[in-house]
Structure 1
Amino acid sequence: MITHIVFFKLKDRSPEAIERTVQVLRNMEGKIDELRHLEVGTDIVHSERSYDIALVTKFDSMDALQAYQVHPVHKLVIEHIASVREASASVDYES
């Protein structure tokens, strides 16, 4: 299994802006066959080094992760994220 984790820091860090992006991310659930697990969490510490949102997804294989990356539903998420993110970081690993 491949675990794909992405952290997002938004330009607008208001609760409303964060919730809007959380909903955009959660909207992928059940719409991408390759996506085996989706979890979205928001930061509760709010420190200087904190990111606002964490996305944890799981896939059966690297091929499945690649299919997710180009899926039309995920491409819409990428468009939204590009317009609201200040920074992001990701980690992919075998689990």
Structure 2
Amino acid sequence: MVKHIVMWSFQETLDDKQKKEAAVRIKEGLERLTGIVPGLISVKVVTDALPASTHEIGLFCELESQEALDGYQVHPEHQKMVSFIRTVTCNRICLDYEV
């Protein structure tokens, strides 16, 4: 099994309302990929980070294998979300590891 963790901050140009709307869209869009992307076991998007956090959104995925992660990265439905996420976020960090 592979764990895929990504965190982002919102772009500073977004106001609070825009951040909330973007967070909902990101959460719904990424979490719906379970059952669509082969090998994607689970997806959890955290949008209610505590104030001391250094990032505002967290993505936590479990995938069957490295090959499943590779397929997830290029899957058209994931790429649609990537295109949107890049318009509203910055400071992306990622950690992938095998369990």
Partner of 2:62 in structure 1? 58
C-alpha distance in 1, partners of 2:15/2:37? 28
Name whichever of 81-90 and 18-27 sits farther off.
Answer: 18-27
Q: How many residues align?
A: 94
Aligned-residue RMSD, C-alpha = 1.6
Q: TM-score, normalised by structure 2?
A: 0.82
CA 51–33 in structure 1, closer or farther in 2 if over 3 Å, else same: same
- Aligned counterparts of 1:17 and 1:60: Cα–Cα separation in 2: 28
Quote how far apart the aligned CAs of 1:33 are.
1.9
Distance 2:59 2:79 in 1: 15
Structure 2 stretches of 5 or more lacking a match? none
Deviation at 1:36, TM superposition (A): 0.8
Question: Do residues 70 (structure 1) and 71 (structure 2) align?
Answer: no
TM-score under structure 1 normalisation?
A: 0.85
What does 1:6-21 align with in structure 2 at a 5 Å threshold?
Answer: 6-11=6-11, 12=14, 14=16, 15-21=20-26
Q: What percentage of aligned pairs have identical amino acids? A: 31
Name structure 1 gaps, 5 residues minimum.
none
